[in-house]
Chain A
């Protein structure tokens, strides 16, 4: 196709056909402000902030929604454009609770930035907020929805529909009553919401935020009676830097540990440890199911087995495919395994009263807040995980504590439960759990390393929504001879809309996988709802690269070689799927309604 010649602000550009005016302008280094536009989502064209003037047309056009045409003459900063844009920002502000200093998103709000840029000094228009009956939904343990901050850009609605296929959030009413709401306007806690937090991550303002537990954690830290243990998820170490002045994709593991110690946590540990433990348990579970299916021909065995690390995915399947709950691995997520062990194994080893332990976790995730709140997560005899903070909340604490993050020295995780492997780190990326499981399972079965260069299983990596991989098992060890020649069919799905595809295929018996990794968020945990804002395709790629770099930099890269894992089985758990692990590390699932 021939290129298009067009003029932007008097300069001629050659543009690929099919590009929108906004894309062409950005390529040319011309900034056009946007609000409803997000790279992850379809074009809405409803905020109208990105309007530009096409010379010869009386009306302005939304640059995000208008394709370039030959000989188009665009003005992005004419007086007409400026005045209109300013008017639109003023209109949005008039409907918005602009009490910025008391807003959780103060300083990270796209509307606030625009208001600052256009120097909206006086409010000429009448404040509409007092006339509205705005409500705040605080019932969810993960997400707070404050309608008074909403600018109706529908980014959350599109996120929930396009990325997640959940449709918990949708548009209700019309005209001045138009709002973003839920089924029958119930609380997010009472509808089919997976708490994934993608809406929070995509919200340009403070209308959707995570429920934060910062003050509770400060209080625990300051309590001399309490022993506060913190665990950090793999994806946090490649995201946290973005909140604290680093480029996207920076690995800040050592600084993060350092900062957590400075904050006053008594012990800074690593969720990666229980990620390795998950591999041991889940890998064994998979092999057991395969044996029951292939050797015992047990009709009750459920294959494919699905991973259970992602609490958003768990709630999704509980709501929408409850008949498939038997396919879920019974393993708890690494966070909850960690929580259960902290108040048992860790307490015993460190000779601490579990009652005095406060267990905090730093997660890239808002659904983890819900997960820690589940009634069944009390296997240690106490609430296994007391508080879950997102990556963003941790950054807030670091800033509040006056820590100059950039200048921090690198430190190492404490022991015990601080040792981890490369296999655990890649849990943070889509395909990572699969890769880690394969590294261990293949070696357990054959006695050899997975047949991939540098044990990087490239077919399971990437950002494709659904990926498949087939690993053929040849010459297994004696005990696993029934697997000889078996082709292990694996699939990976990330983003619930892709999970839905795989599940619908499964329902229609159109696929026959053995093992499927499901992650609720696009890109896996590194693109989680609790990660720094913005998150978009490029940033996810960078974080993924950082995750895999981190893996390669580890000297142990297979879960079963983690010395602390070997030790915990020797000293405490016995063997994978043993009685103790059954009690502490495995769980059951709850069928939930659709409404």
Chain B
């Protein structure tokens, strides 16, 4: 069991030195281009799960020409097994607010919006207090930036950036066709930067310590740290900030209960990694370890040998069938077919070989679904069915 990498704990996000005012006013003195370059050289990638380079996103939005632009903080944290954004907004809201306003400064806009998950209503009043204090400070330093909260209503799909914007515009939360991308035409058809809560918090770290400090953490292609929401069969569930690039076996050594059968990396839309693959699996966008490397929004669910992988998949598929917006064929009907299909195989109404047909179907979903939801159903489906086929049948 040769591990090439050990688990490295870090403490940036939640370390609260209460210096956001200083960092903010200092950063706002700096040249915009320089800040973009700082962000680009940090190689920070979006922490919501898709991993788009944050610096590039801000750069594109800064180059867009428009009378109005927006910064949106995506706090519609809905991925099963993820609960980090809630903690960030509770414990270090000012880092996020400061990051939003710095983004506003860079791209040229004075309006920030936090799209808060419907179930996080209890965060709202505290967050509003923070915003009030923040805006007061902005006024003091003569920086024009205001932040509003927009409450979601509990649809998983509204975490998808364009569905989120549709929902904010009063439409059904349905993903849009891309292109155009939000940096060119986002909320209200205006150039928009939309970032996950954690991503924004990391930019604060970068502006505070410089990109090098961030870049030196993690591994090639997966720089910096990441918050992990650890749950399931573990003696110590919770939120942990770890450097990217760790191997899954190191992770399980630390968090497992000694009987870990598989880990679901990245929530229901992520992958299930069986024990035999722990060694070769790295957590990051593209690891330096041989074998696979999984991008993630940070959800890590551990399962021990008492858990049925069939029940797990059944549960995920029920979730997707329910949470698909329903507009595109592959996702709407595909999810129904997958769920009813595994039930049919389990009950013997369909032969075991039907699973292969369903795998083909997930391929089509991956190729043709309109947004990330439908495209990523294949991840958990194929990783569970391929690794635990016998559990699906017997």
Contact = CB atoms under 8 A, between A and B. Distances in A.
Interface stretch (B15-23, B35-43, B112-120, B318-326): B318-326
A126 B337 contact: yes
Nearest to A179: B326
Interface string A26-60: 00000000000000000111111101000000111
Given A48-B370, A51-B367, A125 B337 contact: yes
A45 B162 CA distance: 14
A80 B336 CA distance: 22
A51 B364 CA distance: 11
A65 B178 CA distance: 8
B374 to A, nearest CB: 9
Contacts of B325: 174-175, 178
B177 A62 contact: yes
Contacts of A125: 337, 341, 357, 361
Given A45-B370, A48-B369, A176-B321, A128 B328 contact: no
B222 interface: no
B302 to A, nearest CB: 28
A544 interface: no
B329 A48 contact: yes
Interface in B357-384: 357, 360-361, 364, 366-370, 375
B367 A84 contact: yes
A176 B368 contact: no
Contact of B364 (A87, A124, A152, A178): A87
Contacts, number: 116
A134 to B, nearest CB: 14
B361 A87 contact: yes
Nearest to A81: B367
A176 B370 contact: no
Interface in B326-348: 326-330, 332-337, 340-341, 344
Nearest to B343: A126
B170 interface: no
B328 A48 contact: yes
Contact of A88 (B329, B340, B357): B329
Interface stretch (A90-98, A256-264, A549-557, A558-566): A90-98
B360 A62 contact: no
A59 B367 contact: yes
A154 B337 CA distance: 21
A58 to B, nearest CB: 7
B328 A59 contact: no
Contacts of B340: 126, 128, 131
Q: Is the interface of A mostly helix, strand, loop or mixed?
A: loop
B177 A65 contact: yes
A155 to B, nearest CB: 13
A59 B366 contact: yes
Contacts of B213: none
A126 B329 contact: no
A44 B367 CA distance: 18
Contacts of B98: none
Interface in A244-298: none
Interface string A149-192: 00110100000000000000001011111100000000000000
A563 to B, nearest CB: 57
Interface in A93-147: 94-95, 124-126, 128, 131
B194 to A, nearest CB: 20
Contact of A51 (B172, B357, B368): B368
A175 B323 contact: yes
A43, A46, A152: most-surrounded residue (chain B CB, <10 A): A46
A66 interface: yes
A87 B374 CA distance: 14
A87 B336 contact: no
A537 interface: no
Contacts of B89: none
A458 to B, nearest CB: 37
A175 B341 contact: no
B367 A58 contact: yes
Nearest to A60: B367
Contacts of A94: 333, 337
Contacts of B368: 48, 51, 59-60, 84, 87-88
Nearest to A92: B329
A574 interface: no
Given A87-B330, A91-B329, A171-B327, 12 more contacts: A46-B327, A48-B370, A51-B368, A59-B368, A80-B367, A84-B367, A87-B368, A131-B340, A171-B172, A175-B324, A176-B322, A178-B332
Enumerate the 9 nearest inter-chain pairs by beta-carbon distance, A residue then B residue, closest first. A178-B326, A65-B177, A91-B333, A87-B364, A46-B327, A45-B177, A175-B324, A60-B367, A175-B322
Interface of B: 155, 157, 172, 177, 179, 320-330, 332-337, 340-341, 344, 350, 357, 360-361, 364, 366-370, 375
14 contacts: A46-B329, A48-B370, A80-B367, A91-B329, A91-B330, A94-B333, A126-B340, A152-B327, A174-B172, A174-B326, A175-B320, A175-B321, A176-B324, A176-B335
Interface of A: 43-49, 51, 58-60, 62, 65-67, 80, 83-84, 87-88, 91-92, 94-95, 124-126, 128, 131, 151-152, 154, 171, 173-178
